[in-house]
Chain A
Amino acid sequence: MIPVLVFGLPVMAAWVWLRRVPCLRSYERTGAAVLFGVAVPSIVYITWRFSGGSVDAYRTADPVLWLIVLTAGTLAVPRRSGARAAAAFGRGTIGLAIVAGLLCVIYLPVVREHLRATPHGAWDAWAIWNLRARFLAGPGDAWRAAFDDALAWSHTDYPLLLPATVARAGCSIRPRPP
């Protein structure tokens, strides 16, 4: 249930607000909603931590914030007409969606097998991305240490989108004791 809230609410909120962009077809809007629904909460999380917000408070604030954004979008953005949406979702698109869905189903066991074999990921995961995420999800000002000179080998100049996404999910879904 919590993962659904963590990832589902921002994606749904983005999907609703993207109705304001009339040139987007349904599948484009869905793709953009996933993109924004992952990226924007990560930016919010980083901003929250950098401005001194605690992990514990964020755990409560996050679903509340995205519920408000979703509700505001539902009330403020008018629905598209059904005919227009159907026209935007043509036969070719449905075929593409079926192929994409099949590929996802086929790849599920591949993903499951890799998660079993390497629960912490491969070298780059624990040396760079998940390592940075652990700092960003740490207590108090622990995130500052993520940029310590002693960690230069872990490419401290790399962008924070991925680690922030992992940190946000980690602190909301499965908090880790320090």
Chain B
Amino acid sequence: MAAIAASLAWAVVHSWRGAVPADPTVDALLRSYLSVAPVLPPDARVGFLPVTADPTLATTTHFLAQYALAPRVVDLEFRDVALAVTGPGAPPAVDEDARLVGFELILVSDGGVRVYRRRP
């Protein structure tokens, strides 16, 4: 009973003080991906190229790309994809990545998400 009361008091005090920190990373990433959504058909399979060496951040950017772009399928393995996107802040050098052979750049968003389309 005391533990419940203590956890309740902790939660209330922290929420009244606005102690729950907002996560600007998630919002910024989602905004970046949503800005390229209009050029991707809703039923498209989209390859995904993470552009960070940090494995945790790479996973986060991939999962958030999938969340923002659903119902499109975002595929790290590039299986049967005609379109591809990078993580935000991708440098132009990423155009030379082996997975993007046969693709052409069609858009670079304000957040640095690069969008590619397979050449016909």
Contact = CB atoms under 8 A, between A and B. Distances in A.
30 contacts: A103-B8, A107-B8, A109-B15, A112-B15, A113-B14, A113-B15, A113-B20, A114-B20, A117-B23, A119-B27, A120-B30, A126-B26, A126-B64, A127-B67, A131-B63, A131-B66, A134-B67, A134-B71, A139-B42, A139-B71, A140-B42, A140-B43, A141-B43, A142-B43, A142-B71, A145-B73, A148-B73, A150-B73, A150-B76, A150-B79
A109 B70 contact: no
A118 B16 contact: no
Interface of A: 103, 106-107, 109-110, 112-114, 116-120, 123, 126-127, 130-131, 134-135, 138-143, 145-146, 148, 150-151, 153-154, 178
Nearest to B80: A150
A151 B18 CA distance: 35
Contacts of A109: 12, 15-16
**4 tightest CB-CB pairs across the interface, nearest first?**
A138-B71, A142-B71, A178-B42, A134-B70
Task: Identify the interface centre among B12, B30, B71, B79: most chain A CB within 10 Å of its CB.
Answer: B71
Most buried by A among B19, B22, B67, B75: B67
B110 interface: no
Given A106-B12, A109-B12, A117 B22 contact: yes
Interface in B65-119: 66-67, 70-77, 79
B22 A130 contact: no
B11 interface: yes
Contacts of A148: 73
A178 B68 CA distance: 10
A130 B77 contact: no
B120 interface: no
A134 to B, nearest CB: 4
Interface in B1-37: 8, 11-12, 14-16, 18-23, 26-27, 30, 37
Contacts of B21: 117
A135 B67 CA distance: 9
Given A126-B26, A142-B43, A120 B67 contact: yes
Nearest to A141: B43
B15 A145 contact: no
A61 B11 CA distance: 40
